[in-house]
Structure 1
Amino acid sequence: MKVVSLVPSITEALFDLGLTENEVVGRTKFCIHPADKVKNVPVIGGTKNINIDKIKALQPDLILANKEENIKEQVEALMDDCKVLVTNVETIEDNYYLLKTLGNIFNKKERAQQFNLKIYDVLEQAKLDSANIKAAYLIWKNPYMTIGSDTFIHKILAETGFENIFKDKTRYPVIEMEDLAGADVIMLSSEPFPFKEKHIEEMKAFYPDKKIMIVDGEAFSWYGTHIAKCGNYFRELLAEIHAMER
């Protein structure tokens, strides 16, 4: 079966499940994992600006898209000639069924279940010892944007014991610097906006006593198989948070 993936984390999952470059015949420029495999797969644009003609020329049996990451009109244009599966992952349970579905489609049921079990194990091990630490997770700058309670990132924060101070919001609200006052820790994600150390310094000028840190955006936002590989990262992150409390 020839498949085109319009979603970076799903592309990674396909290879993790055991598909090869002969089966994954198209990807976006943001599909960067696993690097040694995706380098051989043709790029069909970005997640928001796919090249529809290039995709159709690949004659895929299936195109994998995502409700949030891809543009509805572009995906619908593909549906005229191709079979498209549109995914929507907002919870850990959604992710479980995503992998289960991929396992069924590509006859990789056992491998999909192994990843699902590993993900639950990683999240079970990655728990803060103390009561919920109030966290603000920023995904964008100019304007500052954070995450509401109906996002996958929020679910990962909650699973690891953090309390999202913007849990009363939905999707990706714009906030002001003053809105971060209630946070114990401010997390600056490495993606989609590439926060750097200089941005920590900018915030420190406003909040000199707060814990402000860069976090791995992939660990919090990449659904599919990625979380299964983040056990060490979450352990180190939580150890840093615990050190802050002492």
Structure 2
Amino acid sequence: MNPLPDKRDLVDAAGQFHPPAPDARIVCLVPSITELLCTLGLAGKLVGRTGFCIHPHEVVASIPKVGGTKDVNVEKIRKLAPTHVVVNIDENEKPTVERLAEFVPHVVVTHPNAPSDNLALARLLGGIFGAQEAAERWCAAFEDAHARLRADLIDTNSRAPAPAPARTVLYCIWQDPWMTVSKDTYIANMLAELGWQVPHLGELRYPRFDWSQALVDGLDAVLLSTEPYRFTEAHADALEKQIGIPVLLVDGEMMSWYGSRALAGLDYLRELRAQVEGQAGSVS
């Protein structure tokens, strides 16, 4: 039997308390959180998902789709009669969430903004939906992976930061127009785990930008994400020839999907660091 969760673990990103509801009917509008719910053993409570909720495929294939993250079919959700809808501040539109709140008893708002926020996210979902033990096991695995990453960035002899230099990297999520991420985003905070920073290109969380020599001169590397724009190696090769600094294709799910994929994401950071350091030494 699951112990009663700490009430502090049941408060969502909007400050709303959600009492335990082990018999919940859940619609999840956040792809990475749909995956986490399945990881926690809660797939049987999911009655709706977006078309972008694709992991784990064999589990979610039978769960009805209710549109996309931005173009939610509210009437489909109404017919599914959920007790809970899980949304995200970055992923979902506020007017849509307000419409859902008119007939869904519990709208669970999430907003992980740094890798460590995954712990509270897992405990929130586990606490509400009766999977506290699974959530605690997942949190322990995450903390172990996080500790391994931190240990890899430390010189084991001097206990000082590892010798690889800090980097300024531009993480691109779109082109036509070109768009990137600001410092106050989950992706930027993932990069900060490596001691890297993103340039300040405006006050928006996901600012547009134009290429210039001044911008390029302040960068060590450019990272092209495989999502939401589907950048490819061809894009990376062409841009690298154009701007003359390392340009790498990166796995967008590993860098931006909190929840279940964040475990593998921490290991992926280690690989990314090695790639950037190798490219930095080979491209002049």
TM-score (norm 1): 0.92
Partner residue of 1:50 out of 72, 79, 89: 72
Gaps of 5+ in 1: none
* 58-67 or 166-175, which deviates more: 166-175
Q: Deviation per CA, 1:194-234, whole angstroms, max 9, x where unpaired? A: 111221133123222x1111001111111122111235433
Partner residue of 1:24 out of 24, 43, 46: 46
- Does residue 59 of structure 1 match 2:94? no
- Does residue 35 of structure 1 match 2:39? no
Q: CA deviation at 1:180?
A: 3.2
Change (3 A) 1:121 1:160: farther
* 229-238 or 156-165, which deviates more: 229-238
Partner residue of 1:14 out of 26, 30, 37: 37
Q: CA deviation at 1:113?
A: 2.2
Q: Deviation per CA, 1:105-145, whole angstroms, max 9, x where unpaired? A: 12212221222233333334336531212211011101111
Alignment check: 8 A CA contact 1:32 1:38 kept: yes
Alignment check: 8 A CA contact 1:136 1:166 kept: no
Structure showing greater Rg: 2
In the other structure, the counterpart of 1:165 is 199
- Structure 1 counterpart SS, 2:58: helix
Partner residue of 2:262 out of 227, 237, 240: 227
Partner residue of 2:92 out of 61, 70, 73: 70
In the other structure, the counterpart of 2:18 is none
Alignment check: 8 A CA contact 1:148 1:171 kept: yes
Identity of aligned residues (%): 37
> AA paired with 1:237?
L
- Structure 2 counterpart SS, 1:166: coil
- Does residue 205 of structure 1 match 2:274? no
> AA paired with 1:123?
H
- Structure 2 counterpart SS, 1:126: helix
Q: CA deviation at 1:165?
A: 2.4
Q: Deviation per CA, 1:151-210, whole angstroms, max 9, x where unpaired? A: 1111101012222223875401111111233111110000001111221133123222x1
> AA paired with 2:128?
I
Alignment check: 8 A CA contact 1:122 1:227 kept: no
Q: Find runs of 4+ consecutive structure 1 residues off by over 4 angstroms.
A: 167-170
> AA paired with 1:75?
V
In the other structure, the counterpart of 1:80 is 102
Alignment check: 8 A CA contact 1:188 1:213 kept: yes
In the other structure, the counterpart of 1:141 is 175
Partner residue of 2:228 out of 192, 211, 223: 192
> AA paired with 1:194?
R
Greater share of residues in strand: 1
Change (3 A) 1:125 1:167: farther
In the other structure, the counterpart of 2:138 is 115
Alignment check: 8 A CA contact 2:33 2:259 kept: yes
Alignment check: 8 A CA contact 1:26 1:42 kept: yes
